[in-house]
Amino acid sequence: MASALGRLSRLSVLRVPRKSPMTPPGVPGNTVIACRTSVCSSSGAMLPKPKKTPFGLIRIGLVVVPFLYVGTQISKNFAALLEEHDIFVPEDDDDDD
């Protein structure tokens, strides 16, 4: 919640936009608003690089394979339930004539 409020205050419309150094002083509009707050702090210091978590194929497999298996079992059981109660039973039409 606090981080969301912090982001909202940075994106607030009430902030005073800064003029671009290339803009002549008498020209209205053409304002530049700094929006890269993720790479520098409010004092202007560069923040350290974020930690990278290595995401190998082993980790992806450890997540995907069990959920595929569980999904397969759920769908198989639900199809058997529908067929048992004659809710969805494919018709055996022999139109080989």
Separation of CA 89 from chain center: 39
8 with 19: CB under 8 angstroms?
no
Residue 40 DSSP SS3: strand
> Closest by alpha carbon to 34, among 16, 14, 8?
16
- pLDDT for position 64: 96
Tens-digit pLDDT profile for residues 50-93: 788 787 888 899 999 999 999 999 999 999 999 899 887 777 77
Query: How confident is residue 42, by pLDDT bands cut at 50, 70 and 90?
Result: confident
- pLDDT for position 6: 61
83 with 89: CB under 8 angstroms?
yes
20 with 29: CB under 8 angstroms?
no
pLDDT above 70 (res 17): no
